[in-house]
Amino acid sequence: MNKSIKILIKWIIGPLLAAWLFYSLYRQVKAQPDMDASIALIKSLPFGAGAWKFWMVILFVFVNWALEARKWQLLMGVLQPMSFTTAFKSVLCGVTFSLNTPNRMGEYGGRILFVEEGKRIRSITLSVAGGMAQLIITMLMGCLGLAYLIFYLPPSRIFAGIPAFWVQLFFYGSMAGTLIFLLFFFRMNWLLHLLHKLPYAARFSKYINILETFDAKILLRLLFLSLLRYIVFVLQYIFMLQLLQVEQSVWIGFWLVAVMFWMLSIIPSIAIAELGIRGTVAKALFAYSSNTLGILTATFGIWFVNLFIPALIGSLLILGIKIKNKNDQLL
């Protein structure tokens, strides 16, 4: 990567991303109903009753991305040594790039800035494997949540007006999809075999064959770290709902949030513009509660701390990035 590209990334793309983040946040906030009331509620949380829950939500932001950084460090171990600190920076820069791309696909572009030249395309393949592990956990927990809501709660509470046939069809279809993903995750060679049958796939074989280097032990560690991240996500949401007095038991709340995360994962969206989608899904699932303001405020709060703040930090990190060339010389 030549010097001019480095200058472009550090002094133009980085500041532009930071400015765009602030502008996008402003537009998202202005577009949401009752946002002034939501912001007033959030301002009271750090100092009111149960303030420790608010600070746990903030602490979990760093735990969340630290777990993702450990996943990335583990994945990159088969390609190049990477310290935890570098992996953490890489992940935050990935968040910055991801916010303005469909389903956060731009995340790969941010992460490869910390990868040596000649290894960047293969690192994208590794990133896909890490994302697949997280998606499997989201799908699996979502299916368990659906099972609980369908078979153990009165249907009128969650799925009012939806024929039972379609609810169960969605459930069994989700289960089938989860099992297929899980099968291919532990049988990467099967997935590679299918990919090699695609037209022009042979020219990319040296980049995707790296998936064969993963054994069951590494894949299980990826799933375990993904599960820990998932639990952190859910706890954040439950704490926020409790702080905002959205009444539900922790057990039911856990499974409602699980279903919500599953639904959000299959709805195509751009992260910086998905606040409205998150609010709509949350209101539908928590429809039994009359505290609509609390539901929307919790949704906004989690979106802000988990995505916007890390993305802002990532945009600042881009300014100080040191990009390596193929001879391991800093540019």
Alpha carbon distance 257, 231 (integer Å): 11
Give the DSSP letter of residue 287: T
Amino acid identity for residue 82 in this structure: M
Residue 94 lies in a domain: yes
Residue 331 lies in a domain: no
**Over pLDDT 90: what percentage of the chain?**
22
pLDDT tens digits, 192-231 = 777 767 776 666 666 677 777 788 889 999 999 999 999 9
DSSP per-residue codes, 179-238 = HHHHHHHH-HHHHHHHHHTSTTGGGGHHHHGGGGG--HHHHHHHHHHHHHHHHHHHHHHH
Q: How confident is the model at residue 104 (pLDDT cuts 50, 70, 90)?
A: confident
- Whether 327 has a pLDDT exceeding 50, the answer reads no
Residue 249 or residue 326, greater confidence: 249
Residue 243 lies in a domain: yes
- Whether 328 has a pLDDT exceeding 50, the answer reads no
Count: domains in the chain: 1
Alpha carbon distance 246, 293 (integer Å): 9
Alpha carbon distance 158, 149 (integer Å): 7
Q: Residue 176 contacts by C-beta under 8 Å, 6 or more apart in sequence?
A: none
Q: Which residue has the tokens 């202005």?
A: 30
Average pLDDT over residues 88-111: 81
Residue 314 lies in a domain: yes
pLDDT tens digits, 116-127 = 878 888 888 888
| pLDDT the model gives residue 3 | 56
Residue 325 lies in a domain: no
Residue 311 lies in a domain: yes
pLDDT tens digits, 137-183 = 999 999 999 888 888 876 555 665 667 777 788 889 889 999 998 98
Q: Which of 102, 110, 107 is nearest to 277 (CA)?
A: 102
Q: What is the mean pLDDT of the chain?
A: 79
Residue 330 lies in a domain: no
| pLDDT the model gives residue 95 | 87
Residue 134 lies in a domain: yes
Helix 51-76 and helix 120-152, axial crossing angle in degrees, nearest 10: 130
Of 70-84, 238-252, 281-295, minimum mean pLDDT range? 281-295
Q: Which of 216, 221, 226, 224 is nearest to 188 (CA)?
A: 216
Range of the domain at 81: 3-319
pLDDT tens digits, 5-58 = 555 665 566 667 667 666 666 666 666 666 677 777 777 788 877 889 999 999
| 3-class secondary-structure state, position 122 | helix
- Whether 109 has a pLDDT exceeding 70, the answer reads yes
Q: Which residue has the tokens 């409790």?
A: 242
